[in-house]
Amino acid sequence: MIGRTDEKLLDAMLKESLEKDIINLLSERVSITHREAMDVYYRSELSGQINSGAYGIQYLDARYLVDDLIENEPGLI
């Protein structure tokens, strides 16, 4: 049985991995550096939603989330 502390640790690891995947994919898709992709991601509403776990968004595929970011927050890119 997973304890509450273990659950929080797993959730944090999942979010960190998802953020890394989003930044890598964003960099590839819109041909920007990883540094620029990090800046775009961390200024986005998506970043806040993933961090807070809103709507279970942290469980969605990174490719879908990058498409959503590009489509719904074009002013950041």
pLDDT for 2-50, tens place per residue?
677 888 898 899 999 999 999 999 999 999 999 999 999 999 999 999 9
- Note the pLDDT of residue 5: 86
Considering the entire predicted model, what is its pTM?
A: 0.91
The predicted pLDDT at position 4 comes to 77
Place of tokens 């809103």: 54
At 13, which amino acid appears?
A: M
Check: CB of residue 30 under 8 Å from CB of residue 70: yes
CA distance 71 to 69: 5
User: Which secondary structure element, helix H or strand E, spans residue 5, and what is its range?
Assistant: helix 4-29
